[in-house]
Structure 1
């Protein structure tokens, strides 16, 4: 069956904050200049917001610029932050609230909102459609289109109806060619095509390796007497004192719900560490459990977070396109926020692309975006916070926190030091014989739970009879290298129980339960042999988060 082709001025890959902000800004510019543009957004999730997972305390700076009248338009920013707390969890029983003077001012949240980014993306999609943008959910961009001169000319969406053995099932439909003058890649952290573009155009050759965390989130309905709408709590310390770094959060949203989560840096050394189990332990701390007790867990999810910041920023432009938002690593980890920076990156890209198209250019390398980005408040934010993560990793939570407080609160991020981190996260994993297995308690099914019941709450679904989207470069490595040297950590770092080592006929077998995958990308990042490549499954597969 012949592949269909459609021509657009701009194709945007991913309907997250950066992609939809770019779409909206392009639509605005086209209207303001009475210029007709053909713009489409493709989204691999079954619907808009299905794959969006974020804490999230939302800084409305970019939203104020994009839609100054967002309140009148009904944007779902309903719960203003009313109270900020930073807790140091000293051990599994005790905690201490840190005074604001001892906390980097980037952690303060006056003027921000507790939101569901899934719902904000749904609202942004409505605004984009009202501006004439075409949005296609359920279509995964699986391949790049390359022009004869090497520039990017668009994307090809994934074929539908391919069996696990590669044969064509009944109802097979080949993917479509979506050709464009410019293609914007807004796939989120560790994007499948973004990773290819980094390699092909050497976009990150002058940057430090990107660094990542895995962020967990659950939404709970809690009793009214335990709910304080607008309260934001961040934590440091336990349970990650010995085995890793990161921090927790507890956000009191509207409708009697709280968002609870833990972010664990993926540079941890101990291959026996199980991030999912650490998150379950976190919820048992009295300061957290008191809020969740007698409540009901509504949903669960996890997602990798790009947290390298300024030093890890790649070159974002290449002939024919731009990397946006978390695909380029624009998250400001000193604020634990990336939605406002992602949106602004999309808006800046829209302005550069619109100018180029208006001047008759296509498939060029848009240096104007680099200039605009470096003159923006996003760049200023990231520059001032450039040493935040490195200071914590190199000096420890206490000394690193003290440095960051001094740097941010008294020197405006201008202390003349460089805490660069050159070791990729996967290389930080040490051999299993240096450690003892960690015994985690069994779930109580009240506060703590197992992985499979958690994945059930994420509404994850993939057609079982399709090619595995978790590809091994060498099928032998999990058992010949990763198992003897690292106790095969994929069994533990995956938050969805995708990877198992099981015994069949007296032999160890490495099993991939791809239908459980929640698209977090942790395996692509943390595998110590870099043997796993995450590629897009059939469009519409994966989690279906209701309001994450």
Structure 2
């Protein structure tokens, strides 16, 4: 199938790219054919975010979003920034809250619902959206430029042989292919390596966000209240923090973010999130309520200094596939939308000028002149300071995001760099204290499997495992022997399990549980696990997340 532009990923970045392309064509009275491939069962099915949304980019894309029925229903009404000890907390006075935590004019949303709505706007403009199709392979021209993608075959059995339901994948060729797969994109990762897009950049840094959606008693509802926490249960050397946002309709969305540069292999981000909910300051919001949903997703947190080159012959990276998220603001959807728009403008200009497969230099040039670059430049040191411990991180965030703006300095006059990838930080298990986590009570705290159940995760069981090992002996010989088998803890879905069979340890991979968070692909200390695309339509089916 031939298109002018093929977009891989139907999230905010990909759909904004497609919408902007069609808008430009309508404005100029020209035609441009655009298609979006989405591996989830529908746009929004795999989308997971807090989320508090800055509507700035959406207003640029669709100025009449209110009239069009965008599901931004709950304005932020207040910000609480809390520092937790094990049983108590201190609230930061409003006058001392750094600018990155200010949310006036923003909205508490379900990003999945907003994405679904963006999909409807795209289709109304003539964008072809193919849900349930996973882009499995990048296709190249003879000169090495990107030609398009191939989708995965359907109906392949565990043994790799076609079943009676076999359908061959399709090739989609385009003048330009835009990759918008989200954090640690399967194809984006390959393109960054092939074209050396991250050469001279700080290594990308990631975190895992684990989230739940709750319905709470009406008397506890505080629509629009935004709560962020630092401190307990994280130790001073580990980056992490909680969020709790009150939506409309007596709903609360809450979760915990753990930096994937943590050192202790006994740490479990899932259990840390469950433990965090038992703190009196958090429990007070949700006690007596009911958990409705669960999910997890890796987050790109390196910011501007880790941003790879975003263009290569025949294509571009947008949104979290590149790493545009602003970790200091805990926001990425506005950055995803803006990056998609900037890329679309460059691609439209190239296509209408009759150019194909060259580098879309106008896209990174426009980014450097944009408000998004200014915003990311202001926050460029955020994650780097936290690498030096939570005390230094909190102090320097206060200086850079509160004190300097007070004296008229909008951007810090210094830049701090990082040199190590997240997976290199893990220490041997013997050097670290074991962490004993409390057992779940089934009311406030839960286990992994009941959590995966409410994420509506499903995969066709008779398919090859999409969690692959470069060397099958490494999990036991290295990861278990040296690091205590950390994959059984950093996975938030119970995919990895060490069992002893006939006196020998072995790793069991429960691929059907996978919520597509990509944490294993990032944190595996030997980089032996490679996440590849499963059959399209598989994975979580998030509702209201």
Q: Match for residue 83 of structure 1?
A: 78
2:480 aligns with 483
Give the match's secondary structure for 2:387: helix
467-476 or 94-103: bigger deviation: 94-103
Q: Distance in 1 between matches of 2:292 and 2:512?
A: 21
Q: CA deviation at 1:132?
A: 0.6
Aligned twin of 2:20: 25
Deviating more after overlay: 502-511 vs 128-137: 502-511
Quote the RMSD (CA, aligned, Å). Answer: 0.9
Contact kept, 8 Å, 2:493 with 2:514, in 1: the verdict is yes
Alpha-carbon shift at residue 433 of structure 1 (Å): 0.7
**Once the 2 structures are TM-superposed, how far is the Cα of residue 242 of structure 1 from its aligned partner?**
4.4
Q: What is the distance in 2 between the residues matched to 1:240 and 1:385? A: 23
Look up the SS of the partner of 1:72 in the other structure.
coil
Query: 2:387 maps to which residue?
Result: 393
Matches of 1:237 and 1:228 in 2, distance apart? 24
Residues 14 and 179 in structure 2, CA contact (< 8 A), matched pair in contact too? yes
Aligned to 2:509: 512
2:455 counterpart residue number: 458
Q: Is the 8 A contact 2:108 2:246 kept in 1?
A: yes
Corresponding residue SS for 2:266:
coil
In structure 2, distance between residues paired with 1:31 and 1:130: 12
Structure 2 partner of 1:37: 32
| Residue of structure 2 in register with 1:3 after alignment | none
Choose from 66, 70, 74 the match for 2:69.
Answer: 74
Conserved? CA contact 1:12–1:185, under 8 Å: yes
TM-score under structure 1 length normalisation: 0.98
Measured in 2, the distance between the counterparts of 1:290 and 1:311 equals: 39
* Separation of aligned partners in 2, 1:466 and 1:457: 23
CA distance in 1, matches of 2:236, 2:357: 50
Partner of 2:521: 524
Question: 1:403 — aligned with what?
Answer: 396
Q: Does 1:469 align with 2:463?
A: no
Task: Give the structure 2 partner of residue 186 of structure 1.
Answer: 180
Q: Distance in 1 between matches of 2:271 and 2:167?
A: 41
> What is the correspondence of 1:316-327 to structure 2 with a 5 Å cutoff?
316-327=310-321
The equivalent residue for 1:15 is: 10
The equivalences for 1:128-527 within 5 A come to: 128-242=122-236, 244-394=238-388, 396-409=389-402, 410-411=404-405, 412-527=409-524
Displacement after TM superposition at 1:418 (Å): 2.1
Compare 301-310 and 237-246 and name the one that shifted more.
Answer: 237-246
Q: Distance in 2 between matches of 1:242 and 1:390?
A: 15
* Local SS of the residue matching 2:182: coil
Shift of 1:437: 1.9
Query: TM-score scaled by structure 2?
Result: 0.98
Conserved? CA contact 1:243–1:273, under 8 Å: no
Q: Provide the rounded CA distance (Å) in 1 between the counterparts of 2:420 and 2:488.
A: 23
Following superposition, the deviation at residue 315 of structure 1 comes to 0.3
CA distance in 1, matches of 2:151, 2:332: 27
Secondary structure, counterpart of 2:45 in structure 1: coil
Post-superposition offset of 1:243: 5.8
d(CA) in 2 for partners of 1:232 and 1:103? 13
2:155 and 2:166 in contact (8 A); partners too: yes
- 8 Å Cα contact 1:385/1:413 also seen in 2: no
Distance 1:496 1:403 in 2: 35
Q: Is the 8 A contact 1:12 1:183 kept in 2?
A: yes
- Displacement, 1:102? 2.9
SS at match of 1:542: coil
Alpha-carbon distance in structure 2 between the residues aligned to 1:392 and 1:267: 10
Secondary structure of the structure 2 residue equivalent to 1:459: coil
Query: Which 10-residue stretch deviates more, 40-49 or 500-509?
Result: 500-509
Contact 2:38–2:133 under 8 Å retained in 1: yes
How many corresponding residue pairs?
A: 541
1:241 Cα offset (Å):
2.1
Change (3 A) 1:413 1:495: farther
Offset, 1:214: 0.3
Q: Distance in 1 between matches of 2:40 and 2:66?
A: 27
Instruction: Tell me the residue number matched to 2:101.
Output: 107
Deviations 1:409-447 (A, max 9, x none): 324452322221111100000000101321111001010
Deviation at 1:217, TM superposition (A): 0.6
3-state SS, counterpart of residue 70 of structure 1 = coil
Q: Which runs of 5+ in 1 are unaligned?
A: 1-5
Q: Is the 8 A contact 1:114 1:251 kept in 2?
A: yes
Paired position in structure 1 for 2:534: 537
